[in-house]
A and B are shown apart, each in its own frame.
Chain A
Amino acid sequence: MYAKTCLIFTVNKLTVSKGLRFRRSPRWKVSWLFVFVALACLPFADLSISTYDPWAELGRLFGGLLQPSLVAIEKPFEALLQTLAFAILGVSSGSLIGFGLAQLFHLRLVRIVCASVRAIHELFWALIFLQIFGLHPLTGLLALGLPYAATFAKVYAEILEEGDRRAYDTIRQSAGPTSAFFYARLPDLWQHFVTYTGYRLECGLRSSAVLGFVGLPTLGYYLSTAFLEGAYAEVWALLILFYLVIASLRYWLRPKLLPLYILIAPFIIANDSEISVDNISRFFTQDIVPLPLRNSEGLSGLWQWFTELFLTEALPGIINTLLLTQIALVLTGLIALIWFPLISRLFFERFGRLLGHLFLVIMRSTPEYILAFILLTLWGPSMLPAVIALALHNGAIIAHLMGRYSNTLSLRVDATAGMNRYAYEVVPRIYNQFLAFLFYRWEIIQRETAILGILGITTLGFYIDSAIQDIRLDRAMVLIAITAALNVCIDSLSHYIRSKLRLSIGSQQISAESRR
């Protein structure tokens, strides 16, 4: 396996003296740069602990864990079915559209559109579509399907690009591009598509549950309600239900059963609300038109409106989003480095690894929102709960990927054990992959700060949520556009750094798993 990491084989023109000076690798320097940036962010972020009596509330919180109960939830299984149905329909329509778009991904326009669609969190799509379609099932379907289609387009295009084209090029002239594609390309790549799509379905389940936070009838709806009311027995029951579904995924989610699920799902998500053309046109012609234009105050009015919005909401939102992202990113990396040995056979025996797996599954399946909520009760309102929640959740995901990657390493039989093994043998070998995973998640972490905004941490998500709560969609749209632009920036910066450091994840399967 390590042969792969030495793909970087440059012609050696170095002089004698150069080889004799100890030079730290660019990856090491970049890592420290990020650590310093995060440290520099610390004084500007409010990380105070301000609770006085969290114990009573926490006692009730964990008391609920001892006696989980679904009694007070009106329709828990209905909510579960809704969650599954939205996820299955949203992800499969997303994958089909994404597959089509992947064929056009060489077009700049398609790439730009996909990047902007991806840059907006599912929750914001849901908030937008709630305005247009209300509680019609199309809201949830589009909120999931659209960003998923954009992500599928990108990853499918990458899979197509990495694949072997020779057979295709040989027969394309005689067979025509479409037939040639189905005969000479798809069979080779099919497994990659299936693996990635299956992985995304798990993400889709999480997303679908989270959409409940803004009002869709999925698990998140009941979860957030139960949380707000302090009904912790219900909270835990719902969470356990959710873990069980995720953990049992491979037993019931079979490609052969998928068409059946897709046929049943619409009956589950159907409700009797209607789509009104008036609402749609009103949304585009009035709601999102900036107020000064609606009041015909002209361009100067618009400029004043925009500057005011930018200075009072967007700017503080951007600053807090970036602070939170950078601190959480570094902490995520640290946690991943600490946790990955838990599931690595290079460090633990079978039983220990089993516990490690259990721990990581729980940490990564628990939505950040829930973690942040618990920590908010513990420490009071500041950026601290958000940082820790993001880092625990994302750290567990990267730890899982790194742990699995480390299991593919073969050390020489006389390699040392313990910390020496960790520091000299394992981390240097997987550091490339680690950085690649982390940079992939950079943009995702930033997108996730949005959810925490809804909890009251003043990221851009907070101001977007406020604008929506005030039914000021014009302001919400501007803020969403700014968020998307910020995200595209981070995404391309991450891309730049990855290509500069020549970080690639290596095997397609693992790479697929890291790109959400």
Chain B
Amino acid sequence: MLHLVSANASYEDSIALTDITLHIPVGQKLALIGRSGAGKSTLLKLLYDQRPTDIALVPQDYGLVTSLSLFHNVYMGQLGRHPLWYNLLNLIKPLKKPVGEVQSILSVVQLSDKLFEPIGQLSGGQQQRAAIARAIMQNGDILFADEPVSSLDEQQSNLVMKVLCQRFETLVLAMHDIDLALKYCDRIVGLDNGRITIDEPTGSLVRKDLLDIYGE
């Protein structure tokens, strides 16, 4: 479904990715692991550009609008599916139907009590879950997420990973938490210095080996 063959990428004069070949079939849950600067975000971007229209995205900086409420930020996942007048009306006065839909998604990520709180007043972990809620609101089959649980505690991380696996058919997650990657994903791609150095099904990998090379 997503394919890269011998792809390269570079920023100005530094090379970010070298000779990447990757095929991701439908239904796969893939984790990209590697130290900071290994090229995870760049690879994610490269893959995303293949099919930008039907991928739900959780960027590393969440991409939230801090002055709008949590409700509106989550609703943004559906902007494309409603006429403009509806969106504008909903901006000024939240409408019943979208409020209900957003509320049900927020209850899944345990944020339903913050519905109309401005995003700027939420903590880092709450903002991260808001970004995930927005991705869920998009109601797609594929999710790309860059460090989706980096600001969450262990209990919440597990909750979010579980939700993501349920809601999306295909997952591509850049992660540095190797335990979570092993627990929820079925394929691990390891990056080091812009190259793929490992690409195996989860079952065949040992935690300690990965930690040595890719641990933070």
Contact present between A and B (CB < 8 A): yes
Residues of A within 8 A of B (CB): 2-3, 5-6, 8-10, 12, 14, 16, 19-23, 25, 27, 411-416, 418-420, 423-425, 428-429, 431-432
Chain A residue nearest to B103 (CB atoms) is A20
How far does the alpha carbon of A16 sit from the alpha carbon of B115 in the complex, in Å?
10
Q: What residues on B are CB-neighbors of A9 within 8 Å?
A: 120-121
Quick check: B121 and A12 within 8 Å, CB to CB?
yes
25 CB contacts below 8 A, A to B, read A2-B65, A5-B120, A10-B121, A14-B121, A16-B113, A19-B116, A22-B69, A25-B118, A412-B63, A413-B45, A413-B48, A413-B52, A413-B57, A416-B79, A420-B80, A420-B84, A423-B88, A424-B65, A424-B72, A424-B76, A424-B79, A424-B87, A429-B65, A429-B67, A432-B67
Q: What residues on A are CB-neighbors of B68 within 8 Å?
A: 424, 428
Q: What residues on A are CB-neighbors of B87 within 8 Å?
A: 419-420, 423-424
Chain B residue nearest to A429 (CB atoms) is B65
Q: Is B55 an interface residue (CB 8 A)?
A: yes
Chain A residue nearest to B77 (CB atoms) is A414
Q: Is B91 an interface residue (CB 8 A)?
A: yes
Query: How far does the Cβ of A30 sit from chain B's closest Cβ, in whole Å?
Result: 14
Q: What residues on A are CB-neighbors of B94 within 8 Å?
A: 22
Q: What residues on B are CB-neighbors of A413 within 8 Å?
A: 45, 48, 52, 57, 59
Query: How far does the Cβ of A105 sit from chain B's closest Cβ, in whole Å?
Result: 32
Chain A residue nearest to B48 (CB atoms) is A413
Q: Is B168 an interface residue (CB 8 A)?
A: no
Q: What residues on A are CB-neighbors of B45 within 8 Å?
A: 413
How far does the alpha carbon of A423 sit from the alpha carbon of B83 in the complex, in Å?
13
How far does the alpha carbon of A19 sit from the alpha carbon of B59 in the complex, in Å?
25
Query: How far does the Cβ of B74 sit from chain A's closest Cβ, in whole Å?
Result: 11
Query: How far does the Cβ of A79 sit from chain B's closest Cβ, in whole Å?
Result: 48
Quick check: B91 and A423 within 8 Å, CB to CB?
yes
Quick check: B48 and A22 within 8 Å, CB to CB?
no
Quick check: A19 and B52 within 8 Å, CB to CB?
no
Report, nearest first, the 8 A-B pairs whose CB atoms are least far apart: A412-B63, A6-B120, A6-B66, A16-B113, A414-B57, A420-B79, A22-B116, A19-B117
Chain A residue nearest to B131 (CB atoms) is A412
Q: What residues on A are CB-neighbors of B48 within 8 Å?
A: 413
Q: Is B114 an interface residue (CB 8 A)?
A: yes
Q: Which of these, B52, B76, B91, contacts A416 with CB under 8 Å?
A: B76
Query: How far does the Cβ of A501 sit from chain B's closest Cβ, in whole Å?
Result: 11
CB neighbors of A among B62-116 (8 A):
63-69, 71-72, 76, 79-80, 84, 87-88, 91, 93-94, 113-116
User: How many chain B residues touch A (Cβ–Cβ < 8 Å)?
Assistant: 37
Q: Which of these, A5, A411, A412, contacts B67 with CB under 8 Å?
A: A5
Query: How far does the Cβ of A6 sit from chain B's closest Cβ, in whole Å?
Result: 4
Q: What residues on B are CB-neighbors of A16 within 8 Å?
A: 113
Query: How far does the Cβ of B106 sit from chain A's closest Cβ, in whole Å?
Result: 10
Given contacts A5-B66, A5-B67, contact A19 B115 (CB under 8 A): yes
Q: What residues on B are CB-neighbors of A416 within 8 Å?
A: 76, 79-80
Q: What residues on B are CB-neighbors of A414 within 8 Å?
A: 52, 55-57, 63
Query: How far does the Cβ of A495 sit from chain B's closest Cβ, in whole Å?
Result: 22
- Main SS at interface, chain B: mixed
Chain B residue nearest to A432 (CB atoms) is B67
Quick check: B59 and A425 within 8 Å, CB to CB?
no
How far does the alpha carbon of A416 sit from the alpha carbon of B88 in the complex, in Å?
14
> In this complex, which of B57, B66, B71, B122 has the most chain A Cβ atoms within 10 angstroms of its Cβ?
B66
Query: How far does the Cβ of A426 sit from chain B's closest Cβ, in whole Å?
Result: 9
Number of A-B pairs, beta carbon distance below 8 Å: 87
Query: How far does the Cβ of A277 sit from chain B's closest Cβ, in whole Å?
Result: 60
How far does the alpha carbon of A16 sit from the alpha carbon of B112 in the complex, in Å?
9
How far does the alpha carbon of A418 sit from the alpha carbon of B114 in the complex, in Å?
29
Quick check: A20 and B115 within 8 Å, CB to CB?
yes
Q: What residues on A are CB-neighbors of B115 within 8 Å?
A: 19-20
Quick check: A2 and B66 within 8 Å, CB to CB?
yes
Q: What residues on B are CB-neighbors of A415 within 8 Å?
A: 63
Query: How far does the Cβ of A3 sit from chain B's closest Cβ, in whole Å?
Result: 8
Q: What residues on B are CB-neighbors of A412 within 8 Å?
A: 57, 59, 61, 63
Q: What residues on B are CB-neighbors of A3 within 8 Å?
A: 61
Query: How far does the Cβ of A5 sit from chain B's closest Cβ, in whole Å?
Result: 5
Quick check: B80 and A428 within 8 Å, CB to CB?
no
Query: How far does the Cβ of A436 sit from chain B's closest Cβ, in whole Å?
Result: 13
Chain B residue nearest to A417 (CB atoms) is B80
How far does the alpha carbon of A411 sit from the alpha carbon of B56 in the complex, in Å?
15
Q: What residues on A are CB-neighbors of B69 within 8 Å?
A: 22
Query: How far does the Cβ of B71 sit from chain A's closest Cβ, in whole Å?
Result: 7
Q: What residues on A are CB-neighbors of B52 within 8 Å?
A: 413-414
Given contacts A423-B87, A424-B68, contact A411 B117 (CB under 8 A): no
Q: What residues on B are CB-neighbors of A425 within 8 Å?
A: 65, 76
Chain B residue nearest to A424 (CB atoms) is B76
Q: Which of these, B61, B84, B116, B121, contacts A21 with CB under 8 Å?
A: B116
Q: What residues on A are CB-neighbors of B80 within 8 Å?
A: 416, 420
Query: How far does the Cβ of B141 sit from chain A's closest Cβ, in whole Å?
Result: 15
Q: What residues on B are CB-neighbors of A429 within 8 Å?
A: 65-67
Q: What residues on A are CB-neighbors of B93 within 8 Å?
A: 22
Q: What residues on A are CB-neighbors of B122 within 8 Å?
A: 12
Chain A residue nearest to B120 (CB atoms) is A6
Beyond A416-B79, A420-B87, list 4 extra A-B contacts (CB 8 Å): A412-B61, A414-B63, A416-B76, A423-B91
How far does the alpha carbon of A413 sit from the alpha carbon of B84 in the complex, in Å?
20
Quick check: A428 and B67 within 8 Å, CB to CB?
yes
Chain B residue nearest to A425 (CB atoms) is B65
Quick check: B121 and A428 within 8 Å, CB to CB?
no
Query: How far does the Cβ of A327 sit from chain B's closest Cβ, in whole Å?
Result: 23
How far does the alpha carbon of A3 sit from the alpha carbon of B60 in the complex, in Å?
13
Chain A residue nearest to B57 (CB atoms) is A414
Quick check: A411 and B63 within 8 Å, CB to CB?
yes
Chain B residue nearest to A414 (CB atoms) is B57
Query: How far does the Cβ of B98 sit from chain A's closest Cβ, in whole Å?
Result: 12
Q: Which of these, B91, B119, B120, contacts A424 with CB under 8 Å?
A: B91
Q: What residues on B are CB-neighbors of A420 within 8 Å?
A: 79-80, 84, 87
Query: How far does the Cβ of B128 sit from chain A's closest Cβ, in whole Å?
Result: 14
How far does the alpha carbon of A141 sit from the alpha carbon of B156 in the complex, in Å?
67
> In this complex, which of B67, B68, B69, B87 has the most chain A Cβ atoms within 10 angstroms of its Cβ?
B67
Query: How far does the Cβ of B176 sit from chain A's closest Cβ, in whole Å?
Result: 21
How far does the alpha carbon of A419 sit from the alpha carbon of B66 in the complex, in Å?
19
How far does the alpha carbon of A431 sit from the alpha carbon of B65 in the complex, in Å?
11
How far does the alpha carbon of A418 sit from the alpha carbon of B69 in the complex, in Å?
21
Query: How far does the Cβ of B137 sit from chain A's closest Cβ, in whole Å?
Result: 12
